Structure 1
Amino acid sequence: MEHLLFTLPDAEVIEAVNGRAVAAEVSDILHPGDLHKPSYPFRLSPGEIGCFLSHRRCWQRIVDAGWDYALIVEDDLALDHSLWADVLMLITEQASTDSFIRLPAKRREVPVAQHAQQGESKLFLPRVIGLQTVAQIVGRAAAKRLLAATEQLDRPVDTFLQMHWIHQQQIQTILPNGVSEQTEALGGSTIQKRKSGSKLGREFKRSLYRAQVSTRPQKD
């Protein structure tokens, strides 16, 4: 955290929500994966609840502060500074209050359209929005839109963000971006939960769900 505060411009810490501590308090807004279509086949764990509410807290901070946009990063972020300068330039030139721009650690997204480029780094619209939320630019109007769409929760935050047909927010991606994760080096994720059922059964449900999501691509 100290390193990120030193490295990132005008950085501040937003205290994360402890999902286990607030699970009972927020039980009335939680649903068992059936709030939206396609249905999500797994129940939210306390860690996933806390992660989602933490991101909502960050979105609310952007709105309350009146910022045009802000960079939200998780505490396991690591940066390759040889690429980061180009990424910051792209953000400065392209980001707006309506923006949601992912800076994923994994290069898995397939572009529908390229919107801008700086050096090697490309800003594009991905066909299917990727998972994980290690780093993203969120504009004030986008934050308001997402807050309004997430007053009820039924799946993890990254899984919900894939559902552009629900939240009506275009989501762009920058790759390559110099972003990586230090999850294992920092002791592993706190979001993982004890799995129920067979591994084969879970993987089948996960694959089926992802196939349903892939049938609803973003369009430029």
Structure 2
Amino acid sequence: MKIKSYLVNLKESTARKERTLQEISGYSLLDVEVVEAINGKNLSEEELDLLFDRERFIRKYSRKPAAGEIGCTLSHRECYRRLLDSDNEYALILEDDVCFIYPDDVEFILKRAVGILSADKSCIITLSRYHCYYPKVLHSLSGYSFYRIWGAYGTCAYLINRCAAKKLLSIDKPFLVADDFEYMHLNGIYIQGISPFLALDASTMQSISSEIMDRDKKDNIKIPFKYRLKNMILTKVRVGLIKLNILKLKAQINLNTR
């Protein structure tokens, strides 16, 4: 079997691309296609207005989007389009700073994870960090457990099926950060995560710098009350579910333990 894999990479970041291609070259399971990332810093104001809903982003996150965040979201949407244009039922999305924590387990886990992706509902399986999850174990595989996820960090490595890609592309003008898994979860996409984490981005591991987070100051933006109220209610619901032990918070990453 082969898993179609899209590697997101800025054209000028050749060293990052070569590092990642070298890391994943030993996985015969992966059919890798490099997707040239969109550099949000190179987009004009007119292009930004055409491609991304910055006003809706501000209402949701109470801040302005970083140019790198916009480019990241648009780049992942290009991967979704390529998946839908193909005959594949699912794809693995990788970013060029992905690092596999347990490289010997990657193919074993991926072979079984694709079997967990339902073909008739929107599904994503993140192989990286998550911070809020439902404690019931959905699947167990040789020391790894899968959980349903409420919120997660990063998009360095995740599996997505056609239904989820179609749902995300149904938003004509995107307004989300690429890793807003909470929004995806609350809008009908079944998100799963793995424990222990199988992948991290190299910027988290502090081996290379991030190309996305280019904001150097906090925004002081007041949004209309109805949007602030919606965000406050959602926060209270999440906190309430945690207090009731319906949700749990993930402990800090420890790379030395399984």
1:124: which partner in 2? 147
CA RMSD in angstroms, aligned pairs only: 2.9
**Percentage identity across aligned positions?**
24
Offset of 1:102 from its aligned partner?
0.9
For these two proteins, the number of residue pairs brought into alignment is: 204
Larger deviation, residues 49-58 vs 27-36: 27-36
Looking at CA atoms only, which structure, 1 or 2, has the larger radius of gyration? 2
Partner of 1:43: 64
Alignment of 1:52-131 (within 5 A): 52-79=73-100, 80-97=102-119, 98-104=122-128, 106=129, 108-126=131-149, 128-131=150-153
1:128-169 deviation line (CA, Å, top 9, x unaligned): 2212111110101110111103x223341212x321366421
Matched letter for residue 11 of structure 1: V
Hey, which of these two has a bigger chunk of strand by percent? 2
Residues 87, 45 of structure 1: alpha-carbon distance in 2 compared, 3 angstrom cutoff: same
Q: Report SS of the residue matched to 1:17.
A: coil
**TM-score (normalised: structure 1):** 0.79
CA drift at 1:87: 1.6
Q: Mark the CA change 1:81 to 1:35 in structure 2 (over 3 Å): closer, same or farther.
A: closer
Distance 2:57 2:200 in 1: 32
In structure 2, the gaps of 5 or more residues are 1-16, 221-230, 247-258
Q: Which moved more, 1:165-174 or 1:15-24?
A: 165-174
In 2, Cα distance between the equivalents of 1:210 and 1:179? Answer: 32
Moved over 6 A (4+): none
- 2 CA distance for matches of 1:167 and 1:66? 25
Question: Would the alpha carbon gap of residues 210 and 90 (structure 1) be closer, same or farther in structure 2, given more than 3 Å must change?
Answer: farther
Asked if the contact 1:72–1:137 (Cα under 8 Å) also holds between the matched residues in 2, the reply is yes
Cα distance in 1, alignment partners of residues 75 and 233 from structure 2: 28
- Classify 1:86/1:148 alpha carbon distance in 2 versus 1 (closer, same or farther; 3 Å): same
| Contact persistence 1:99–1:170 (CA under 8 A) | yes
Superposition TM-score, scaled by structure 2 size: 0.68
Q: Structure 1 residues 130 and 81 mapped into 2: Cα distance closer, same or farther (>3 Å)?
A: same
